[in-house]
Structures are given as structure tokens and as C-alpha cells.
Amino acid sequence: DSGLSSAIHLEELNASINPNITTVKPFANSLRKLIASYNCGITNAGLSTAIYLEELDAYYNPKITIKLY
């Protein structure tokens, strides 16, 4: 998380198989696409600020139960 804190304009992120990334808050206003599959540390709470997210891949991530429509 701390390594991404300055990436405030990030639009796409592949956090799959990275349990150290737990939130998208630093770039929640710019993030459009997120891949958070498998052993990713991101949870529903870590996504709560991602209001512009258009595409979410949370395949085999039981910590994410929300759906995008």
C-alpha cells in the first residue's frame, strides 16, 4: 500500500496475487479498471472509495463480494 500512495492518477491496476495491496483509496478518483484476483489483499472495504471503477475482475477472491453492473 505505501508504495502506491503517490500514484494518485492510476487508471488501471493488476493487484492479483499481491496480498500487500489492501486498498485503492489513493487513486480511487481515477481508477477505472482493477484486477484483484486470487490472493489479493483488497476487500470490499478497500474498494469502497472507487466510485469511478468501470471494470472489476475479482475471480477467486473471496474477500470481494460486490458486483459491478
Question: What pLDDT was estimated at residue 66?
Answer: 82
Give the end-to-end CA distance of the chain in Å, rounded to a whole number: 27
C-alpha to C-alpha distances, 32 to 29, 48, nearest whole angstrom: 9, 14
Question: What pLDDT was estimated at residue 56?
Answer: 95
Query: Lowest mean pLDDT: which of 7-11, 13-17, 32-36, 46-50?
Result: 7-11
Question: What pLDDT was estimated at residue 21?
Answer: 94
pLDDT digits (tens, 9 = 90+) for 18-67: 999 999 999 999 999 999 999 899 999 999 999 999 999 999 999 999 87
Distance CA(9)–CA(29), nearest Å, equals 8
